[in-house]
Amino acid sequence: MKKGLLLTLLIITSLALIGCGKGKTSDSAETVKIAYLPITHSLAALEEADELEKNENVNVELVKYGSWPELLDALNSGKVDGASVLIELAMKSKSEGVGIKAVALGHKDGNVIVVSNDVKDGKDLKGKTIAIPHRQSSHNILVNDALTKDGLSIDDVNIVELAPTEMPSALAAGTIDGYCVAEPFGAMGVSVGAGKVLYTSEELWPDSVCCALVLTDDFINNNADTAKAFVEGYKTAGNNLDSDTAKKVAKKYLNQKDDVLDISLKWISYNDLEITEEMYGELSDKVKSYGLSDNPPAYADFVKNDF
């Protein structure tokens, strides 16, 4: 009896030692649950999920949503650990007491203002109907920037909020005269001939801040090492998104035609995704100037770079 017990203990001990020597397997990797919309602005998160698929320490579980309100509800309620989200929406949530931090940009540039073919120039926007996806968005800011550039104000146009998927068809049908929205929906309107590019975001606001990767405070505080590895992997994934890789990832996740992606990916970049104090300061100034928020969160309270 004693010999049998001793043998069992030896076997258990040996298996434990062998397990220690092997380290973590992919089955035991920590999982980060990230919410996203199927847009080109989320490609860095999607690429990282692919790169970390067999990583022994951290994996990404992607959770797809169909609209910003749905995604924001999941983020604010803690159903996910983080999200690729419009930074202005995240700033508003932070101002309302939600525990989140912006840890990286989603991309740089990558937006366009598309207008109907009969709009001659920026001044011709007066009296026209322009669609944006949400008041709390860089698309709203870019429309304001364009109007200011052409001597107009937001009061000179009719701004409507519209689902991104509806914008190209609405432009083709003539129910709106232009729109600014996350890609690839701008490229869709151009590719079918419904409209033309009036301005790229780079022409109005170089290296504009639009989407950001955010993580919940709970996840950062309770999983410090995993959060650090995830953010580092995310920035590396962004740097790896050359034109060929970006198109490959986009085709996998976005279900768009080649010509749409070819147009869209010319306008966006994913390298060097750190949120600097200077760029956040410019964003905050625009948020206040155009009436999105009177009191956006301070950089030190909202942005986390020190992992």
Write down which residue in 169, 204, 239 finishes a domain. 204
Q: The CATH number of the domain where 168 resides is what?
A: 3.40.190.10
Residues linked to residue 59 through DSSP beta bridges, in sequence order: 31
Phi and psi dihedrals of 214, rounded to 5? -120, 150
Q: What pLDDT, on the 0 to 100 scale, is given for residue 48? A: 94
Q: What pLDDT, on the 0 to 100 scale, is given for residue 27? A: 59
In a domain, 221, yes or no: yes
Q: DSSP characters for 97-130?
A: T--EEEEEES-EE--EEEEETT--SGGGGTT-EE
Helix (H, G, I), strand (E, B) or coil at 206: coil
Tokens at residue 253, please? 């996740």
In a domain, 185, yes or no: yes
Q: Are residues 223 and 286 in the same domain?
A: yes
Residue 47 one-letter amino acid:
E
Q: How many residues comprise the chain?
A: 307
Write down which residue in 186, 204, 222 finishes a domain. 204
Q: Confirm if 138 and 209 have CB atoms less than 8 A apart.
A: yes
Give the Cα separation of 116 and 140 in Å (integer): 18
Q: Confirm if 183 and 43 have CB atoms less than 8 A apart.
A: no
Tokens at residue 177, please? 């005269």
Q: Are residues 128 and 198 in the same domain?
A: yes
In a domain, 179, yes or no: yes
Phi and psi dihedrals of 28, rounded to 5? -105, 5
Q: Are residues 60 and 178 in the same domain?
A: no
Tokens at residue 24, please? 């973590």
Tokens at residue 307, please? 């992992």
In a domain, 53, yes or no: yes
Q: Confirm if 270 and 241 have CB atoms less than 8 A apart.
A: yes
Exposed/middle/buried for residue 199 (C-beta within 10 Å: 0-12, 13-18, 19+)? buried
Please report, for residues 32, 60, 151, 289, the alpha-carbon distance to residue 170 in angstroms, rounded to integers and kept in the order given: 37, 36, 26, 29
Q: What pLDDT, on the 0 to 100 scale, is given for residue 12? A: 35
Write down which residue in 204, 224, 239 finishes a domain. 204
Q: What pLDDT, on the 0 to 100 scale, is given for residue 105? A: 97
Give the Cα separation of 126 and 150 in Å (integer): 10
Domain count, the chain: 2
Q: Are residues 126 and 244 in the same domain?
A: no
Question: Taking Cα atoms as reference points, which of 76, 90, 92, 34 lies closest to residue 58?
Answer: 34
Q: What pLDDT, on the 0 to 100 scale, is given for residue 29? A: 82
Residue range of the domain that includes 169: 112-204
Q: What pLDDT, on the 0 to 100 scale, is given for residue 33? A: 97
Q: Are residues 260 and 131 in the same domain?
A: no
Residues linked to residue 212 through DSSP beta bridges, in sequence order: 85, 105
Question: Beta-strand (E) ranges in the chain?
Answer: 30-36, 58-64, 82-86, 100-105, 108-109, 112-116, 129-132, 158-161, 178-181, 195-200, 211-216, 268-269
Q: Are residues 155 and 136 in the same domain?
A: yes
Q: Are residues 217 and 281 in the same domain?
A: yes
In a domain, 301, yes or no: no
Low-confidence stretches of the chain (pLDDT beneath 70): 1-28
